[in-house]
Structure 1
Amino acid sequence: MMSSERPTLPELARQALSSVQRGYDLLAPKFDHTRYRTPDSVLDATTRALKTLGPFTDGLDLCCGTGAGTRVLREVCAGRTAGLDFSAGMLTQARYRYATAPGPGPHWVRGDALAPPFRPGTFDLVVSFGAFGHFLPAERPRLFARVRETLRDGGTFAFPMAAPPRPGTAAYWTLLGFDAAMRVRNAVWRPRFVMYYRTWPLAEVHRDLLLAGFDVALRPLPELGRRADDSPRCRLLLATRR
């Protein structure tokens, strides 16, 4: 990778001092060369798991960004695919990514995940990758309710969930420090930039999905490795609309 493809420190600082939407508009041309992009290993593992659960017809990539995760839908859905994001810059990159791809391209939609501009029952699969840190815990019930509305009866909402780092490890202190710094930044600077790594615990997510009208199951993704206690490092959460 050429170093010029990565965002520079001043560019990252400018993004961090912007709103979430403006920040991603600025970062979009170089986003796929950052570590914030969902790794291909996670996308491939998700694809393999969903292929055993289909067939699916129409699919939505929620908070699709540059469309990296949308290829999962193109591999498991036989009908229409769509990507929803609120950043015009990220959607521009997504359109460019798929401009020369064979077959019908995804339908890219600019909009808010908390108020998706789709008719009820439009999709039978909704996926999302790496976006949930941008939603505060109080917004989670509304987000899940909107996803449920976009799904047909029996439709699936699927997303990977990594196991949290163990207390005392370097990863644990890194994420704790990042969230603390972000809270300080948002207390003293406007506009806010909402991005937290520790606001999506499995127990609370499971509870809110049940309350929103989903049945919930977890499927290990063993190809992504196991921890020292032999538990999977990552699971695919499958929420089925009741």
Structure 2
Amino acid sequence: MFSPHGPSLRELAVQALSSVEHGYDLLAPKFDHTPFRTPDGVLDATTDALRAFGPFDRGLDVCCGTGAGMRALKPLCRGRVTGIDFSSGMLAQARGAHPDAEWVQADVRALPFAEAFDLAVSFGAFGHLLPAERPAVFAGVHRALRPGGLFAFPLGAPPPVTSGWYWALLGFDLAMRVRNAVWRPPFVMYYRTWPLRATRDDLAAAGFTVTTVPLASLGRREDGSPRYRLVLARKAGKPA
């Protein structure tokens, strides 16, 4: 599951007993050697799907972590690309890997931008945001985009109840709820809190027009439905 360069079980335990911000500061130097980093296949599939909607000028990676999303963002954007995250440790890794990008430390629940970007993306970070925080995040992204701007992110289909993954993810979320009930500071990391229907509803409430496209290269489930969909949330207006 982890490479020899990844964190030890002890390091993961220390992270899990920290706050989200401090935990990722600690994990940052080894994060890219864990399965928590968004796989290149997901990043490349997102880039391929977005090419038909571009090219774009300026791009934003929301909850950028160590900067893996730049693999998807840079080929799509002609202008400057920016990553935003609240972990100084993760941003330090991102700066080292992509010195040509702009990096901003801030809380994504209060994005400090206004009509500055044409494309915003996010990968693998939504589990760190509670459902009640979605409206603030989506409102901030909407404000950060120029008229006609696009917010895109992949969402995986939930595993069927007969799958071992269904029960593993359910067990993880329950364990995390117990941990947060008895230990402070809380560590927010849930796998089952961003279903597609609720996510679409909150995006629409923030002012977006929402569609989805299947990421066919990532395969299909046994019932024929795609394993991943790319959510496309468009801000009203004519792109520059």
Q: TM-score range by the shorter chain?
A: over 0.9
Contact in 1 for aligned 2:2/2:33 (Cα 8 Å): no
1:115 aligned onto 2:145: no
After TM superposition, the structure 1 = structure 2 runs for residues 161-176 of structure 1, keeping only pairs within 5 Å, are: 161-176=155-170
Q: How does 1:132-211 map to 2 (within 5 A)?
A: 132-211=126-205
- Secondary structure at the counterpart of residue 217 of structure 1: strand
Partner Cα separation in structure 2 for residue 4 and residue 225 of structure 1: 29
The residue aligned with 1:227 is: 221
Which consecutive segments of 4 or more residues in structure 1 shift more than 6 A? none
Alpha-carbon displacement from aligned partner over 1:100-139 (angstroms, at most 9, x marks no partner): xxxxx11011111011122x10001000000001111111
Aligned Cα RMSD in Å? 1.2
Aligned residues: 236
Partner of 2:101: 106
* Structure 1 unaligned spans of 5+: 100-104
CA distance in 2, matches of 1:218, 1:11: 38
Aligned partners of 1:137 and 1:3: how far apart in 2?
32
TM-score, normalised to structure 1, is 0.95
Residue matched to 1:102: none
SS at match of 1:194: coil
Distance 1:95 1:87 in 2: 12
Task: Give the letter for the 2:217 counterpart.
Answer: E
Aligned to 1:95: 95
Deviation of 1:2 after TM superposition, in Å, equals: 9.1
Change (3 A) 1:2 1:162: closer
Per-residue deviation, residues 189-208 of structure 1 (Å, max 9, x unmatched): 00000010000001100111
Relative to the length of structure 2, the TM-score reads 0.96
Specify the SS of the correspondent of 1:66. coil
Q: Deviations over 1:154-191 (max 9, x none)?
A: 10000001110001310000100000000000000000
**What residue is the counterpart of 2:5 in the other structure?**
5
Q: How far 1:73 sits from its partner (Å)?
A: 1.2
| Alignment match, 1:217 | 211
Unaligned runs of 5+ in 2: none
What's the CA shift for 1:229?
Answer: 1.3
Deviation (angstroms), 1:96: 1.1
Read off the aligned partner of 1:133 and give its amino acid letter.
G
Task: Tell me the amino acid that sits aligned with residue 184 of structure 1.
Answer: V
| Structure 1 residue 80 corresponds to structure 2 residue 75 | no
The 2-side partners of 1:29 and 1:66 are apart by 9
Residue 68 (str. 1) matches residue 68 (str. 2): yes
Q: Determine the C-alpha separation between the residues in 1 that align with 2:226 and 2:131.
A: 25
Shift of 1:55: 1.4
Question: 2:86·2:106 contact (CA, 8 Å) conserved in 1?
Answer: yes
Query: Structure 1 vs Structure 2: percent identity of aligned residues?
Result: 64
- Mapped to 2, the partners of 1:2 and 1:25 lie a distance apart of 19
SS in 1 for 2:213: strand
Q: State the distance in 2 between where 1:114 and 1:107 align.
A: 19
Q: How much does 1:3 deviate?
A: 4.8
Please say if 1:125 is aligned against 2:128: no
- Where 1:52 maps in the other structure, the secondary structure is helix
Deviations 1:10-66 (A, max 9, x none): 000000000000000000000000000000000000011111110110000000000
